[in-house]
Structure 1
Amino acid sequence: MRVLFLCSRNRLRSPTAEEVFAGRPGIEVASAELAPDAAEVAKAEHIEWAELVVVMERAHKAKLTRNFGASLKGKRVVCLDIPDRYAFMQPELVELLERKAGHLMKP
């Protein structure tokens, strides 16, 4: 299964999720951001590659739908409702990701 994690700037939450779930059997992960001026901006190719798209906030889901509506057809999109208040690999963030997304990471 191919999983794409998205957040605003791809500096804290999404890269942490990518790190946490990378290397699991049968799972390929990637991360990108939805801000237009970020280093790794989400593109249609990212969306097309993914089987599951995981966003951190409802605002991300709305922006994703606005920007990539046609590419999302047939894709599962899940919002984890994780606010932007954690550092990269902060133990509390890792625990939240495991609790909220761990069950999704089954091929």
Structure 2
Amino acid sequence: MKNVLFVCSRNKWRSLTAETIYKNKSDFCVKSAGTENSARIKINSKLLVWADLIFVMEKHHKEKLILNFRDEIQNKKIFILEIPDVYKFMDKELIDEIKMTVAGHL
């Protein structure tokens, strides 16, 4: 079973939506976090070590992981989904975009 981590800025809309979509799938375990201090769940070393696959919503999220957690993400697959911060939690368009961009990787 793969451990999958979704990351956005505040872990309130995009990454939380992704976690909600995939959390009941039997082939993987899913969590989400945010890179900002105001995040609902703030990204940390433990989450990154736990993750087999990491999906970030935008390039600057990956850059923050590289800057702050270089050792923890070494040898990790990090995919940039290119999903902008223009959606609310569980927006239909957001769900469709997440499913479409993640599909080839899971």
TM-score, normalization by structure 2 = 0.95
TM-score, normalization by structure 1 = 0.94
Letter in 2 for 1:3: V
Structure 2 residue runs without a partner (length 5+): none
Find the aligned partners of 1:74 and 1:59 in 2 and give their Cα distance: 19
Q: What percentage of aligned pairs have identical amino acids? A: 36
What's the counterpart of residue 59 of structure 1? 60
1:25 is paired with a residue of what secondary structure? coil
Looking at both structures, which has the greater relative contact order when contacts are Cα pairs under 8 Å and sequence separation is at least 6? 1
RMSD: 0.9
Q: Give 1:74 shift.
A: 1.2
Structure 1 residue runs without a partner (length 5+): none
Find the aligned partners of 1:37 and 1:93 in 2 and give their Cα distance: 22
Find the aligned partners of 1:42 and 1:10 in 2 and give their Cα distance: 9
Q: Give 1:41 shift.
A: 0.7
2:19 is paired with a residue of what secondary structure? helix
What's the counterpart of residue 86 of structure 2? 85
2:54 is paired with a residue of what secondary structure? strand
Matches within 5 A, 1:27-38: 27-38=28-39
Number of equivalences: 105
Letter in 2 for 1:43: N
